[in-house]
Amino acid sequence: MTDATTNRPRRIGVLTSGGDAPGMNAAIRAVVRTGLSRGWEVYGVRDGYAGLVDGRFRPLQSRDVGGILHRGGTVLGSARCPEFRTQEGQQRALGHLRDAGLDGLVVIGGNGTQTGTHALHELGVPVVGVASTIDNDLLGSDITIGVDSALNTALEAVDRLKTTASSHRRAFLVEVMGRDCGYLALVTAIASGAETVVVPEHPTTPERVAAELRAAYARGNDHAVGIVGEGSEPGTSQLLEYCNARQEELGFELRATVLGHVQRGAAPGAFDRMLGSRLGAGAVERLAEGEHGVLVGLLGRRVATTPLAEVIGGTKSVDPALLELADTLAS
């Protein structure tokens, strides 16, 4: 397919931005190969918006994205780029896009990233976002690229911690990522069989968490596990301090493990490889149809688009039914 005004093949760019997520490489690969299959040229932009501001682009061929499907992270690199939030930064990016003759852009990333995508859309760039973040806080996609793999990493860690916890009759707090969104914490708690969970959306008290951990021993458990979402109230250190100051009264010793970026570094599982492939290909198809300014995500079982204007500025709220399920199954 050629560009009507320049009579050359259409040329699009692809970048990954914000926190990396397992499955981003599958999405890059799908963008490149779907674009090439249409006779387009596809350019990779290095290091997210930083590479857009500096004009670091290079053409990608099919072999350039071979052997990456099973790898975590992003082969294009990612960055958090404060400069792109400024008007000057955005104008520099526009200039480089023009100079390189890019007439479409696919931006793979989460909430902050898609705010940048929306800014580009407002500046007239034909741009499509792809929903990717381990936090699963992005509106416009029921589940985002990376969540499933990050969740499985957290589960593996909790399973291991339970082994050592049982040997010592200890209790453990496991802090998981998610920024301000409790999704990963909640689902980790349900799928690992944790005794209690604290999410940022619902502040609680150290007394309640201590009582729920204690109740596990009263039921005959030889260990107890609490999952704490990053940014929750009370946080991990406050809980640790509270419980260990009352160790004798509570009857258990508490340790804590912060999983942090370990969750981001996983190799993508089957789900994220499929999701990345479907959403990456979907983004190119949207551009081919002349649809821009949208986020490509999974809604129900279908690849679907939502206007970026509806995606940015809000986040998904935690599902009360899942909170209730966590509570019921922990008793």
Residue 135 binds ligand F6P (CB under 6 A)? yes
* Catalytic entry in 20, 47, 103, 135: 135
Residue 133 binds ligand F6P (CB under 6 A)? yes
Closer CB to ligand F6P, residue 59 or residue 82?
Answer: 82
Residue 110 binds ligand F6P (CB under 6 A)? yes
Residue 177 binds ligand F6P (CB under 6 A)? yes
Residue 114 binds ligand F6P (CB under 6 A)? no
Distance in angstroms between the alpha carbons of the first and the last residue of the chain: 60
To the nearest whole angstrom, how small is the minimum distance from the Cβ of residue 18 to ligand F6P?
A: 6
Contact pattern for ligand F6P over residues 178 through 197, marking x by CB under 6 A: xx------------------
CA distance 196 to 215: 10
Are the CB atoms for 174 and 228 separated by under 8 Å? yes
Report the residue closest to ligand F6P, judged by CB: 19
Residue 36, Cβ neighbours under 10 Å: how many? Answer: 17
Closer CB to ligand F6P, residue 46 or residue 179?
Answer: 179
The CB-based long-range contact list for 184-187 (8 Å cut-off, 24+ gap) reads 184/134, 184/135, 184/136, 184/147, 184/150, 184/151, 184/154, 184/229, 184/263, 185/227, 185/228, 185/229, 185/230, 185/232, 186/227, 186/229, 186/318, 186/319, 186/322, 186/323, 186/326, 187/151, 187/322
Are the CB atoms for 265 and 254 separated by under 8 Å? no
Per CB under 6 A, the list member of 41, 175, 230, 272 interacting with ligand F6P is 230
Give the total of residues touching ligand F6P (CB under 6 A): 11
Contact pattern for ligand F6P over residues 57 through 86, marking x by CB under 6 A: -----------------------x------
CA distance 331 to 328: 6
Q: Is 148 a catalytic residue?
A: no
Closer CB to ligand F6P, residue 134 or residue 186?
Answer: 134
| Catalytic (active-site) positions | 135
Give me the residues that bind ligand F6P (CB under 6 A), please.
19, 80, 110, 133-135, 177-179, 230, 264
